[in-house]
Amino acid sequence: MKRKIKKIGVITSGGDAPGMNAALRAVVRACSYYKVECTGFYRGYQGMIEGDFIDLSARSVKNIIGKGGTILKSARSDEFRTKAGRKKAYKNLKQLNIDALVLIGGDGTFMGGVTFGKEYEIPFVGIPGTIDNDIAGTNFTIGYDTALNTVVESIDKVRDTASSHNRLFFVEVMGRDAGFIALNAGVGAGAEEILLPEEDLGLDRLLESLQKSKQRGKSSSIVVVSEGDKIGKNVFELAEYVTDNLPEYEVRVSVLGHMQRGGSPSCFDRVLASRMGVKAVESVLEGETDIMVGLIKDKIIISNIEEAIKSSHDINRELLRISDILSV
Ligand code: F6P
């Protein structure tokens, strides 16, 4: 017989994302609504290992729905990757009478949960929170929409100075293994070229396209580069390569960096986080485990978390074609 869930533990883990606080609020308040206790662990799995926690009530999460970052703080715990680390974490969970876990984070967080769930009997549910949007089982992850808007706004600003000086800018955006931010922000900001981890467009094609842009009378250009782009050169090497081969271009580089992870979450992310947080708690109370919540075609659904990690969430390649047509 399934054990009755009386107390849920929650973490935010991995790279932080705008909307994690909104998700935490939803988890804590849903627990309160269903009369279940809720304990938050600081710095993700590391707090579980160290027994660094806080008991959370509905009032503990007041005024955080619009706050960037995560009040529970986040970390990528190396210790949790070890058997000894996970043993310590489990011991603390038992001591605190935690019956189930809600894990807010990306694929690294989910993998940690799956490994832990195989070693110890503790039900868990994942809430996808990462700006990368690189998780299967959901159309959108929490934080992605906000990050996209931050990036588009930033590229618009870069465009102003690029156009004033007739320059070519390489703008590097986040996404080590996934080009969602680069592709969508690239189209949204009207970039001339978009370089992604998923697609090797090649250096020749880049030069050719930039040459064409000049011939067509463009005085300035923006190339959006995902930090893990397939060409394999970093953004500074790319800029040098273009300067060497197309001396008619005055080239500059802008690396947007961690500002993409900050800021107040968009309304979309707040609503998504609220829906996912409630569903996560309800699912765990219904006896579900090893699942993640997701948004598919505007419906909040649950799916097997291990399958989600193993599958890939593909970019929409049609957007590359759209970008090509529109950068004529
Ligand atoms: O996974 C989110 C992310 O922001 C990636 O886009 C980026 O590659 C990585 O985290 C950066 O990690 P860190 O903050 O540890 O430098």
Query: Is the CB of 106 inside a 6 Å radius of any atom of ligand 1?
Result: yes
Among protein residues, the one with the nearest Cα to ligand 1's atom 3 is 15
Query: Is the CB of 129 inside a 6 Å radius of any atom of ligand 1?
Result: no
Residues paired with 37 in a beta bridge = 7
Can you tell me the distance from the alpha carbon of 230 to that of 183, in angstroms, rounded to the nearest whole number? 13
Mean pLDDT of 76-87: 98
Ligand 1 midpoint to CA 261 (Å): 9
Query: Is the CB of 256 inside a 6 Å radius of any atom of ligand 1?
Result: no
Ligand 1 atom at minimal distance to the Cα of residue 76? 15
Range scoring the smallest mean pLDDT among 7-21, 178-192, 196-210, 271-285: 196-210
Among protein residues, the one with the nearest Cα to ligand 1's atom 1 is 15
Class of domain 7-143+265-310: alpha beta
Q: Please write the tens of the pLDDT for every residue from 23-47.
A: 999 999 999 999 999 999 999 999 9
Does residue 227 have a pLDDT over 70?
Answer: yes
| Cα 307 to Cα 60, 137, 227, 290, 302, distances in angstroms | 34, 9, 26, 10, 12
Does residue 109 have a pLDDT over 70?
Answer: yes
Query: Is the CB of 272 inside a 6 Å radius of any atom of ligand 1?
Result: no
Q: Give the residue range(s) of CATH 3.40.50.450 domains in the chain.
A: 7-143+265-310
Split at pLDDT 50, 70, 90, the class of 2 is low
First to last CA, the chain: 64
Q: Please write the tens of the pLDDT for every residue from 114-161.
A: 999 999 999 999 999 999 999 999 999 999 999 999 999 999 999 999
Among protein residues, the one with the nearest Cα to ligand 1's atom 15 is 15
**Structure-model confidence comparison of residues 249 and 232, the more confident one:** 249
Q: Rounded to the nearest 5°, which phi and psi values hold at 30?
A: -65, -40
Does residue 1 have a pLDDT over 70?
Answer: no
Query: Is the CB of 17 inside a 6 Å radius of any atom of ligand 1?
Result: no
Split at pLDDT 50, 70, 90, the class of 312 is very high
Note the pLDDT of residue 74: 98
Three-state secondary structure string covering the chain: CCCCCCEEEEEECCCCCCCHHHHHHHHHHHHHHCCCEEEEECCCHHHHHHCCEEEECHHHHCCCCCCCCCCCCCCCCCHHHCHHHHHHHHHHHHHCCCCEEEEEECHHHHHHHHHHHHHCCCCEEEEEECCCCCCCCCCCCECHHHHHHHHHHHHHHHHHHHHHCCCEEEEEECCCCCCHHHHHHHHHCCCCEEECCCCCCCHHHHHHHHHHHHHCCCCCEEEEEECCCCCCCCHHHHHHHHHHHCCCCCEEEEECHHHHHCCCCCHHHHHHHHHHHHHHHHHHHCCCCCEEEEEECCEEEEEEHHHHHHCCCCCCCHHHHHHHHHCC
Does residue 83 have a pLDDT over 50?
Answer: yes
Percent of the chain predicted with pLDDT > 70:
99
Q: Give the residue range(s) of CATH 3.40.50.460 domains in the chain.
A: 144-261
Ligand 1 midpoint to CA 260 (Å): 10
| Catalytic residue set | 132
CATH number 3.40.50.460 given to 144-261: yes
Q: Please write the tens of the pLDDT for every residue from 315-328.
A: 999 999 999 999 99
The overall pTM is greater than 0.75: yes
Among protein residues, the one with the nearest Cα to ligand 1's atom 13 is 15
Among protein residues, the one with the nearest Cα to ligand 1's atom 12 is 15
Question: Which residue among 78, 110, 111, 131 has the greatest number of ligand 1 atoms within 8 angstroms of its CB, and so is best to mutate?
Answer: 131
Cβ contacts of residue 63 below 8 Å, gap of 6+?
none
Mean pLDDT score of the chain: 96
Note the pLDDT of residue 37: 98
Note the pLDDT of residue 176: 85
